[in-house]
Structure 1
Amino acid sequence: MSNTTARKDIFHAVGDGNRRRIIELLAERPRTVGELAAELGIAQPSVSQHITVLREVGLTASERRGTSTVVSLTPEPLRDVVAWCLAQVK
């Protein structure tokens, strides 16, 4: 995938308000899918779909711990997008 395609996917991924809120929550600390669902007030399957979109662009990582899935933020792709955005305003 080219950097341009990756940026486009990231822009799509962060274009949704629930996914932006997930990023904000994960920036504080890793959370289970259940915790994210409770914080967002939406069903766990919906949270899982949002996490899938974020994972596909490299923004999250998940780890199974017993019966729970713990999700953490992988901020490097966001840093790449910020750097690209700043380069555009020369």
Structure 2
Amino acid sequence: MKRGQSLGFSALIVTLAAIVALAAIGYPWVAGIVATTGLTAIVSIFVTGQYQPVPVRIPKGVPHQPVQLPRQDVPDTPPPPQGPIE
């Protein structure tokens, strides 16, 4: 048995335990959500034998440039120091 298979089986057992625990403490709708999403993902990976993530498309655009905010002076405040603070 490969390490991935044993980890996948462990994830399945933990997910089933979480579903049973959630249903037992009075949250059946949360247990249903966990069962629907979690078990579907785990079982599909076991059935297909591989994980196929959705490809991510990164748009190409203008390189990031720093944004300079306009300076707003507040009346009756001293000017900021110009040199290093000692």
Specify if TM > 0.5. Answer: no
Compute the TM-score of the two structures, normalised by the length of structure 2.
Answer: 0.30
TM-score, normalised with respect to structure 1: 0.29
RCO (CA 8 Å, sep 6+): is it higher in 1 or 2?
1
Q: Which has more helix, going by share of residues? A: 1
